[in-house]
Amino acid sequence: MKETFVRFSLRQRVEHTLVMSLFIILAVTGFPQKFSDAGWARGVLRLMGGVEIARGLHRFAGIAFAMLAVGHLGTAIVLVATGKSRLSMIPGRKDFADAIKTLRYYLGASDEQASFDRFDYRQKFEYWGIIMGGLLMVATGLILYFPLIVTRLFPGVVIPLAKVAHSNEGLMAFLVVLTWHIYNAHLNPDVFPFDFTIFTGKISRHRMETEHPLELQRLTGDAPPREDPKKGA
């Protein structure tokens, strides 16, 4: 019997599925607007039945994304405050040390690998990227959604500012997902072709030993297994 650990709760798995779906809808309805100069973009908009439909879907998905973000941050604050969750996503000094250690290992300057706790520095980077980028997208998206209200309180230039930021931040988020997330969840030889953990919530003992030894030690009280660094991930 393969021993597995529960890594993600049902709530976290549902959150991921929702973020993933909304991200795809927002990208599919957003980029044809950003690149409306291009033939492919106009083709996509025609398929959707015109830019009006694309904008409607985009705003609907955006509102849902905003509510999801508020729900997530609210839940996180409550869980931490009531002691039901640890501050495992907060980056610390160890994360910077881990990053340097890992880069030295990749470059072949050292054979020592960093040992990670529940989330490694790459996962924290991606998480905070989504949180900060997401909040920026929500804020600028709302400005673009309600320009008449916004310009009653702020100068008119906030509208083109929000547009430039929204459009570029969206492009960057898309490119990060395309390169970084697709690599880490799919193309990385350690998980290829598909890391199912975020969907099943389960992770094998072997992967806990190699990827999250410090967490494993905390959970079981075992000493982290000494791995031959050459064999590890």
Partner 1 sequence: MRASSAAPLVFVLAVMATGALAQDAVEKEVGSCLECHGEPDFTTQLDSGETVSLTVDKKMILASVHGKGLRCTDCHAGMGEIPHPERKVKDASEFHAGFRDTCKPCHFDKYALSLDGVHAKQLAKGNEAAPGCVDCHGSHDVSPSSEPRTRISDTCAACHPDVADTYMNSVHGKALAEGNPDVPVCIDCHRAHDISDPRVTSWLVKTPELCARCHTDEAKMKKYGLSTNVVQSYLSDFHGVTARTSRARGVDTQGGARVTALCIDCHGVHDITATDAANSPVLRANLVKTCRKCHPTASESFPDAWLSHYEPSLEKAPLVYGVKVFYVVFIPFIIGGLVLQVMLHLWRVVVNR
Residues in the site for partner 1, rule: CB under 8 A? 32-33, 36-37, 41-42, 45-46, 49-53, 103, 105-108, 147-148, 151-152, 154-161, 163-165, 168-169, 171-172, 175-176, 179-180, 183, 188-189, 230-231
The one-letter amino acid code at 168 reads N
Give min distance, CB of 152 to partner 1, in A. 5
In this structure, which long-range contacts are made by residues 92-95, counting pairs with CB atoms below 8 Å and at least 24 apart in sequence? 95/120, 95/121, 95/124
Give min distance, CB of 162 to partner 1, in A. 9
β-pair partners for 40:
none
| Residue that has been written with the tokens 């791995």 in this structure | 227
Nearer to partner 1, 86 or 206 (CB): 206
Nearer to partner 1, 71 or 156 (CB): 156
Instruction: Answer whether 128's CB lies under 8 Å from 91's CB.
Output: yes
Give min distance, CB of 233 to partner 1, in A. 8
Structural tokens at position 182: 């697709």
Give min distance, CB of 189 to partner 1, in A. 5
Nearer to partner 1, 53 or 219 (CB): 53
Nearer to partner 1, 17 or 128 (CB): 128
Instruction: Answer whether 9's CB lies under 8 Å from 200's CB.
Output: no
Interatomic CA distance for residues 87 and 79, integer angstroms: 10
Q: Is 59 left (phi over 0), alpha (psi -120 to 50) or beta?
A: alpha
Give min distance, CB of 71 to partner 1, in A. 27
Nearer to partner 1, 70 or 182 (CB): 182
| Residue that has been written with the tokens 């991606």 in this structure | 126
Nearer to partner 1, 51 or 63 (CB): 51
Give min distance, CB of 177 to partner 1, in A. 11
Where helices occur in 49-157 by DSSP H, the ranges are 51-81, 93-107, 121-145, 147-153
Give min distance, CB of 40 to partner 1, in A. 12
Nearer to partner 1, 3 or 228 (CB): 228
Instruction: Answer whether 32's CB lies under 8 Å from 44's CB.
Output: yes
Interatomic CA distance for residues 119 and 125, integer angstroms: 10
